[in-house]
Each structure stands twice: as structure tokens, then as C-alpha cells.
Amino acid sequence: MLIIAIFTLVVLGSLAAVMSKIEWSSSDTHTREFMSAQAWMLTTSANEWALTQFYPLSGSVGMEDKCLGNTNTNIEGIDGASYQQLAQDVCGAVSMSCHLAGTLDSQNLFVVTATATCGEGAFQVQRRQEVWIKE
């Protein structure tokens, strides 16, 4: 009888340890998924904002003036506040860059890249999104 009781306690103890590890792993995965989604939405927002700078409602703007050699990490635009500061409130680091990728059929192709890094340590995730723009 004593052997059965000890065996039962050992089995239930092992089961509890395994369930605890599964719960921790699930929580870890959920946190990373949340941070990944946050970084992805931030890069999407940054690229959409960049597109509004290249194609404003008021008319066309020369892309070469806006883009060539521009690595802009302090983008002004949302209610007078810097986009970089707003982005850093959500994630740790956000950067945008723009460069001429080449020409096709005598039209310039530009690449705007937004990168966001959210979280710290084991929970740090980075997402990068590119938008190709034809002039």
C-alpha cells in the first residue's frame, strides 16, 4: 500500500511539473506573438506614412529629393510630434531608410524600408518591411 501511495505521489508530482512547464511555454509564446504583431503594425504604419510623403493628396513631389541617400530616423508628421518618438513609446527602436534600387523602363525604383524592434532580452523581436515605389 505504501508503494502505491509513493508511486501515485511521484506520478502526480511529475504531471504537475510538466503542466507548469507547458503553461510557462504558452505564456512565453503569447508574449512573443504580441510583440511581433506590435512591431509588424508599426512597420506597416511607418511605410504607409512614407507613401503619403511620396504621393501627397496635393500633388506629386519629386521622389529623388525626398529619398536619395535619406536614412531618416526623425520623421516629422503626426500632429507636429516626431514619428520616431511616438514609435519609441510603443517599441524600443524604429528606423526608416530609402534608397534608389535601380531603373526599369526608364523609371526609377525606390525602396523604403521600415524596421521596428520591440521587447527586451528573450522577448525581443524585430520586423522589417519594404515598400517598392515606382517614380
Q: Is 50 exposed, middle or buried (0-12, 13-18, 19+ CB in 10 A)?
A: buried
**Among 7-21, 42-56, 121-135, the range of highest mean pLDDT:** 121-135
Angle 66-71-73 (CA atoms, 0-180°, nearest 5)?
105
Residues of the chain with pLDDT > 70, as a percent, come to 70
CA distance 92 to 64: 30
What does the pLDDT look like over 7-21, one tens digit per residue? 787 877 877 777 766
Angle 98-104-107 (CA atoms, 0-180°, nearest 5)?
70
Specify whether the CB–CB gap between 130 and 112 falls below 8 A: yes
What does the pLDDT look like over 79-96, one tens digit per residue? 434 555 656 666 777 788
User: Count of domains in the chain?
Assistant: 1
Taking residues 27-32, what's their average pLDDT?
Answer: 76
- The domain containing residue 33 runs over which residues? 2-134
96 forms beta bridges with 114
